Amino acid sequence: VHVPGHGPDAAELRRALAAADAVTDPGTAPSEDAVVLVPVWGGTVAAAVAGHGLPARRTLGVDPLSLGTGRLVLAMTPASDPAAVRDARTVLAGLTGPAGPAGPGGPVAVSVVRDTAGSVAQRLLASVVSVAASIAERGIAAPADIDMAVTTGLGYPYGPLAWARRTGADRMLALHRALYETTGDPRYRPTRWVTERAQLGLELTDPGTPPPHAGG
């Protein structure tokens, strides 16, 4: 298995594969028979193939949001070799899911999906964060109140801005930009709230410093 790139998603995938004793390809370019697994964040496997000169038939995508969970999402393209899909699925099924109250984690399930911009989970995250950021940006409600309303009313484990804080402002901005560039869907247009906090190093739950009152 070859994992290209030097970002945190690629490093996390390599660590997970090493923990599962998968045979990894350490070269800077994939060997002729290696299956290439690309962590895809907001973009597509096809774009990664074209942009980095990867072998189309042996390159598949992994959703970084699914790493460390009990179900990994593997993305294939129309050019994918069925044998490469089978091999990638077998390797990923050897990873271990998170531990729970009942004991240590077990083997993960692997869902194979069609290559698209981001995954269902990434699009959901981007959408709910964008709505929450727009509400906070317009001063309709404070970040803490938005998160409390969502966790209480909808039963989410985290509010949208708290969820985004766990992901990181920089990564959320990168996700919004990639999805918006690829799809053109206004739901993913980067908000001022996310953009400013990424640029200023603030957390997405930070209400920021309010301007002084007139005459203050």
- Find the Cα–Cα–Cα–Cα dihedral 193, 197, 203, 206, rounded to 10°: -60
- Environment class of 141 (CB within 10 Å of its CB; exposed 0-12, middle 13-18, buried 19+): middle
In the chain, domain spans: 8-114, 120-200
Q: Which range is least confidently modeled, 5-9, 57-61, 194-198?
A: 5-9
pLDDT at residue 102 is higher than 60: no
Considering the four listed CATH numbers 1.10.10.60, 3.40.50.80, 1.10.1040.50, 3.90.1150.180, the one that applies to the domain covering 120-200 is 1.10.1040.50
Q: What is the mean pLDDT of residues 49-55?
A: 94
**Cα(117)–Cα(28) distance, rounded to whole angstroms?**
25
Q: Is the pLDDT of residue 139 over 70?
A: yes
Asked whether 94 and 106 are in contact (CB, 8 A), the reply is no
Listed residue (198, 189, 201) closest to 169, CA to CA = 198
Query: Residue 53 has what pLDDT?
Result: 93
